[in-house]
Amino acid sequence: MKNNKYMDIYNFLKELIVNKKIKPGEKIPSESQLTKKFNVSRNTVRRAITMLINEGLVNSIHGKGVFILENSSPSFSIGGLQSFEEASKKNNLKYKTIIHSFEIIKTDKNLAKKTTFPLNTKLYKIKRIRNIDNENIILDVNYFNYEIIKGLNKIIAKKSIYDYVENNLKLNIAGAKKVLSVEKIEACEKNLLDLDNNELVAIIKNFVYLDNGVLFEYTESKHRYDKFSFTSYVRRI
């Protein structure tokens, strides 16, 4: 099984940063050092570093190295692509996933337009409630291509679907297009989150692709407004 070496590198570097073992303005170990230490390719190292860049923890300067940023702190970021389980673990959160519904459907005209899956595509539709510190604050409405993500079930969905895709199905997740909006939650979903009488939620719409360019997932991740923050780091080139 694939053991996600990039996450080992990411966690190693994250610990160095959070515990101030490398100070702002200083460089992290070089790509060569990391490839030797973890016995991986440069692409694996770069994947871990990209995660740190997306969180605003480091900045990569061509020809000079990767530097720790001032006042960096751990947080959720919509700039990266990670599972809820990965994000929760790295932020040391008390979390659990509740499967509200799990069904197999086909796209009609409206769903095909929203998800960009072709008409009559067979999909898994899954609603997962994300509970953090004993509050239901995120609702993920997932649509996965049935013909690509074979064998998906409730047990897998309660853990990590991305782990299943990468380690069991041996598929490579390349990236995602993300759209952020604030909308009124649907009436049928209102009672699934602890909203405190506020019907507005922040929604991240994810179109996720394999490395061959094929769309395999469309997800709407609906966040309670007061528990959501946008974190991203951008560079001026």
> Up-side HSE of residue 112: CA atoms within 13 Å toward CB?
9
Return the minimum-mean-pLDDT range out of 3-7, 23-27, 100-104, 109-113: 3-7
Q: What is the pTM of this model?
A: 0.69
At 111, the amino acid letter reads L
The H or E element containing residue 67 is: strand 65-68
Q: Which of the two residues, 193 and 228, has the higher pLDDT score?
A: 193
Q: Can you tell me whether residue 154 is helix, strand or coil?
A: helix
Domains of the chain with CATH codes: 5-68 (1.10.10.10), 84-227 (3.40.1410.10)
The full length of the chain comes to: 237
In this predicted model, what pLDDT tens digit does every residue of 191-210 receive, in sequence order? 999 998 888 999 999 999 99
Region of residue 198 (left: phi > 0; alpha: psi -120 to 50; beta: else): beta
pLDDT of residue 1: 40
| Residue range 9-56, pLDDT digits in tens | 998 998 888 888 888 889 999 999 999 999 999 999 999 998 888 777
Taking the C-alpha atoms of residue 166 and residue 78, their distance in angstroms, rounded to an integer, is 20
